[in-house]
Structure 1
Amino acid sequence: MTMESTKFKKVGIWLDHSFAYFVGYADGKATLIEKLDSPHESMKRVEGEGNDTTWYTPNPEHASNNEHKKHNITQNELKEYFKILEGKIQSYEDVLLFGPGTAKEQLRNRLKDNKAFDKKWFAVENSDKLTDNQLLAYVREFFDKHSI
């Protein structure tokens, strides 16, 4: 947690399964605080490993025994990523989670189950990938519109 981020009570977090951008909001201004990389890699391949699927068999559902192991690794990496995000979110009062895909809902569901977040205000919005300037504008416009 940087000193910079402690002055913000409101934060917008753009996230997917690969990384998260923290954008602080105060006094009508949005400031990019940090980018957090996820320990999760979506396309992982062990050195020397072959393809996971067998293309030319009568059974198209056939998959290798690596699939179960990879699924567990992926789930553990995502849990670790969300745990890191949880720790960073604790110092904020109002939190906007936004981005493409399902990561924002997964994180929100996890936070809902954690009593430490009961008094915090959360919003979840869909958003495409955004440039840095678009990120700042999105967070600024959201909190300007939803003055709490």
Structure 2
Amino acid sequence: MEHYKQVGVWIDHSKAHLIGFKSGQARLLETVESPYESVRRVEGEGNDMTRFSSSPEYSSNNEYKKHQIVQNEINEYMRIMEQKLVSFEDILLFGPGTMKERMKNRLREKKAFEGKWLSVEDSDKLTDNQLVAFVREFYKKEGV
């Protein structure tokens, strides 16, 4: 497999597409699925109210547990992405939502990513061909 120094990562909460860039050419390297589930359905699960009241004022700690599960899944996803990105020198993070910013902030905190070039761009959902074209045009424009 070719070794790429530059990568574009289209990322959101459900998946990430890694697109390598080398010698003016971009290529989809892999897709990483996130362990994060936005809507979790547990069979037989009731509502989040307490047994004594149906008022939202008296909610249970079930919401706290759900939040912790979501945070653990997102942290696991970002850990997986760190391992995938550590070998690249130039990293472009792009996509909809806030995940690209969260990922950039996490990479900035890690010693393994010191001195590496990180950039963040906004984009919508794109087809595979549009992803490759986006990365190719970005790196050609940057002249990196």
TM-score normalised by the chain length of structure 1: 0.88
State the partner residue of 2:76.
80
Provide the alpha-carbon RMSD of the alignment.
1.9
Work out whether 1:105 is the aligned partner of 2:96: no
Aligned residues: 142
Shift of 1:53: 7.0
Q: C-alpha distance in 2, partners of 1:61/1:91?
A: 49
2:114 aligned to 111, 118, 122, which one?
118
Give 5+ residue unaligned stretches, structure 2. none
CA distance in 1, matches of 2:17, 2:45: 33
Q: Structure 2 counterpart of 1:99, which letter? A: G
Among candidates 37, 40, 51, match of residue 41 of structure 1 = 37
- State how 1:1-148 maps to structure 2 within 5 Å: 3-4=1-2, 7-52=3-48, 63-148=59-144
| Cα deviation 1:83-126 (Å, max 9, x = unaligned) | 00001101100000000000000011011111110111010011
Partners in 1 of 2:83 and 2:119 — Cα distance?
A: 18
Q: Which amino acid aligns with 2:137?
A: E
- Could you tell me which amino acid in structure 1 is paired with residue 91 of structure 2? V
Task: Provide Cα deviations, 1:50-77, integer angstroms capped at 9, x if missing partner.
Answer: 34479xx996666553211010000001
In 2, the alpha carbon distance for the partners of 1:68 and 1:37 equals 25
Q: What runs of 5+ residues in structure 1 fail to find an aligned partner? A: none
Distance in 1, matches of 2:125 and 2:116, equals: 26
SS of equivalent to 1:43: coil
SS of the residue 1:33 aligns to: strand
Distance 1:14 1:72 in 2: 25
Amino acid at match of 1:18: S
Q: Distance in 2 between matches of 1:24 and 1:141?
A: 13
After superposition, the Cα gap between the structure-2 partners of 1:61 and 1:104, relative to the gap in structure 1 and judged at 3 Å, is farther
Residue identity (%): 58
Change (3 A) 1:120 1:68: same
